[in-house]
Structure 1
């Protein structure tokens, strides 16, 4: 029976930078709910420290206008995302005088998440996908090699690097418990979650299933004789999808679980994943149990250069009904799957 027919039909993205009067900077991965998206703050100052690492770029800036000698900490998104916008560490350096625009923290003074940066040469650099021009007299930033979205029926193929097809990550990634059909037990557990103590990504621990499948970074499929590797850039995750049944008794639970795939036709791969041992369904504390089971379908459309995706998650202990989500990736001839290399601590 078709696995989908048997079922009912995307912060902590922000880094928490904490100075302890030591020469090192401590980075953590926290909730975007901390930042006021309705307010844009501008700061002009000198870069005195900088970390160009995943999961997020960080700047320490000493102001030269307004409140002099005030120190601001600013997060500028992941280097994976910045690289695809053409922004690299070569664009800025310690000692540069720059202007920053971003959303301020509602919990900590002089902390922001960046939207744009005005470089010392007068060029404005967008640091988010949705950034709009802020400084009218600024020069326009031109990436050296902007990506193209060239796709043809002849070039497109399943076993490739695929680019995320949306402007944002999967909405459920950082969706609160009110967004899901949760049991009373799951609602209670979500209320106990502490984004500063329980967030595994702040320790650079890679997410498990299905948590890893809503990220906006490239994925790559690699063909082997009896299995397929699905490699994700985020956290350098590698999933193994077996094409033959395995002895379930000998398989130990793991964060990514045990995946069995089946080709329904030449363009459609369906996957069932069980034995998942990862505590969270998403990135903000919605829990799951070891009984969780996922059903996935990847459908290649050569003429569109797209890889469509459907996900169903079942877990009777936490979900009152199956959770469903769909997305797609696009074939981009210049896309590469980079190395994520998550870094929490850095001497600067």
Structure 2
């Protein structure tokens, strides 16, 4: 029996994609070898590489003056690459500190140059977000950086600030391709693949051409967006197999109505869980302001740690894995990424109802 994967990442992948990978693992389309072992410059991989870029443009509505790049190092490398490439002398990197991952991006940026925190959620315990309209970048800002969804704290931006001539930069690792938005509002978007779009090992960077072209010449080659853009992400050997798996996930997504289609499904999944939390206020609680509750990572508490442990054990026995909250905040967390079926969210909701009825 296949289990329901609620881990925050690496996360669940579509069963159909896993089956295709299994079928092609030793022989890709009769080529006589696997995509794991072929050259990144071979014709069989080149077709996959180009189609994957095209699918990103199509599914996200990415304009022609943006490049889609595949870079190693996870989103963590981007914490440093963004300021390395965008922070020029006399400018400041502005950040919204919305939780743990935003904090890590800020920490790394401070090793590169001057940072200014435009908004800090510390007073709310990082359970809220600012009104996007209230965020006004300074004239000396090189960019404004935000984390679109905090996997640990369970807060998610529902709308984004308009920053005018100041590039808006976003870490979208945990909610990319889960909902529709206008890419033109951003100068740069980056996302580790291992939540919604594939296995760990590759980070997708979507960058406007002018920002890529302005990469400083004094950086090592791999750390310059310009090099990756000019070489079409083939400056060095990219994570071929991970990109090949992403290609299949994007095809899977397109066949299900694209981003708009999956957004409707994600809304249903999140509502199934939040309705139980709100329907049992004396038993379940969510610390996050309702207006910014994440559809990807639902965090919640039970009346005691003992009951939380018992609930997590009960869920595991019923084939639901990964519901323990992050070690920094405790409690429970259900990650509802794109490939988690609606039936999985409903099964969890049913278990929550039954557990509350029994223990409440």
TM-score by length of 1: 0.28
Q: Which structure's residues are more often strand, by fraction?
A: 1
Q: Which structure's residues are more often helix, by fraction?
A: 2
TM-score by length of 2: 0.27
Q: Larger relative CO (CA 8 A, sep 6+): 1 or 2?
A: 2
